C-alpha cells in the first residue's frame, strides 16, 4: 500500500545542541487516497533519521511517534516528536517519514 504525505515543521529550530533531545511539532497532511490507521497490525507511525552533510544516513534508531487517531485523506494532524540529535558536531539534515 502506498501512503503519501506532506510534512511541515511550523517552527523549525535553526540549530539544536549536539547529543541532546528536543521536541518538535510536525504537521503531516495525508495527500493520498487511503486513510492512515493509528492502531492495529498495519498502524502508521512517524519516524525520523539524520543525514550528514554529504547526505549519508547516520546510524541511529530514532523513536517512532504514533498517530493520535486515524488520519483521513486531505486531513492534517500535528505530532509532537521527541528527537535525539547526533553526537558529533556538524551540519545534519533531519528526515521524517511515515512507516508501517
pLDDT tens, position by position, 63-80: 889 999 999 999 999 999
- pLDDT at 61 > cutoff 70: no
| 5-99: CATH, from 2.60.120.280, 2.60.40.10, 1.10.3810.10, 3.40.50.1820 | 2.60.40.10
Rounded Cα distance, 59 and 49, in Å: 8
Domain ranges in the chain? 5-99
- pLDDT at 13 > cutoff 80: yes
pLDDT score of 63: 80
Position 36 confidence tier, pLDDT thresholds 50, 70, 90: very high
SS3 category, 49: strand
Rounded Cα distance, 5 and 73, in Å: 10
- pLDDT at 100 > cutoff 70: yes
Amino acid at each position: 500500500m502506498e501512503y503519501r504525505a506532506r510534512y511541515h515543521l511550523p517552527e523549525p529550530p535553526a540549530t539544536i545542541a549536539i547529543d541532546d533531545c528536543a521536541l518538535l511539532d510536525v504537521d503531516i497532511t495525508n495527500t493520498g487516497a487511503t486513510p492512515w490507521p493509528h492502531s492495529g497490525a498495519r498502524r502508521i507511525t512517524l519516524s525520523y533519521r539524520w543525514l550528514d552533510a554529504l547526505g549519508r544516513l547516520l546510524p541511529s534508531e530514532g523513536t517512532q511517534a504514533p498517530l493520535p487517531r486515524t488520519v483521513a485523506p486531505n486531513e492534517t494532524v500535528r505530532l509532537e516528536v521527541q528527537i535525539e540529535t547526533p553526537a558529533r558536531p556538524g551540519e545534519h539534515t533531519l528526515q521524517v517519514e511515515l512507516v508501517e
